[in-house]
Structure 1
Amino acid sequence: PEIHIETKTENGLLYFTISDKGIGIDKKFIKKVFEKFFRVPTGNVHNVKGFGLGLNYVKSIVNEHKWKINIESEVGKGSRFVIVMKMEH
């Protein structure tokens, strides 16, 4: 799918947004996607490679920097990940 990357600053915060128009994530799995080795079940479709580590690494980095990450997703429409970082001088 096509991926969009966007940044904006507001009130001393930097918003780093990554969005796509992919298959989306069912709401019941949103909190689990950051768990080590978790992969969203796709039934008999096995065309997505991976080990379920990528988002776990992202969450670790976000936590170490005391940033925040939010996910918005809708099955069949895509996902949007927003990392919120405090801007410091």
Structure 2
Amino acid sequence: MVNILDNAIKYSPEAPPKIDVYTENVGTNIILKIKDQGSGMSKAAVKRVFEKFYREHTGNIHNVKGHGLGLAYVKRIVDDHQGYITVESEKDKGSTFTVRLPLIS
């Protein structure tokens, strides 16, 4: 989750960035939502954001260091724990990442 928060900070145009974090228990799962007011992503980028080495090269992200591995690793970890991760985003309007993980009983 640190990677998602770090990205929300890095891609936010304002300082300090506005980031909302929500958690909710739903049955035997926990849901975590991280919503930012950052640069957002194109529809094409949303489809590929969890691929290794993928980075959308537009706007202010040229100044952001990275190799396009963080979200691929996050997805793998979530998948390994029988959870799922999704992203909703709109260019120039921010992104919302939703992670659902089963609770250990």
Do they fold alike, i.e. is TM over 0.5? yes
Aligned residue for 1:56? 72
Structure-2 separation of matches of 1:45 and 1:88: 38
CA RMSD of aligned residues (A): 1.6
Runs of 4+ in 1 over 6 A off after TM superposition: none
Report the TM-score, using the length of structure 1 for normalisation.
0.89
**Pairing partner for 1:28 from 22, 44, 51:** 44
* TM-score of the aligned structures, taking structure 2 as reference length: 0.76
Q: Does the C-alpha gap of structure 1 residues 79 and 42 become closer, same or farther in structure 2, counting only changes over 3 Å?
A: same
Structure 1 distance, partners of 2:32, 2:74, is: 13
**Structure in which a larger fraction of residues adopt strand:** 1
Aligned residues: 89
Distance 1:37 1:23 in 2: 19
Change (3 A) 1:50 1:42: same
Q: How far off is 1:44 after superposition?
A: 8.0
Question: In the TM superposition, what whole-angstrom CA distance separates every residue of 1:25-51 from its partner, at most 9, and x where no partner exists?
Answer: 111111211111110121686211111
Structure 1 stretches lacking a partner, 5+ long: none
Q: Give the structure with the larger helix fraction.
A: 2
Percentage of identical aligned residues: 45
**After superposition, where does 1:12-27 map in structure 2 within 5 Å?**
12-27=28-43
Relative contact order (C-alpha < 8 Å, sep 6+): which is higher?
A: 1
Whole-angstrom distance in 1 between the partners of 2:82 and 2:47: 18
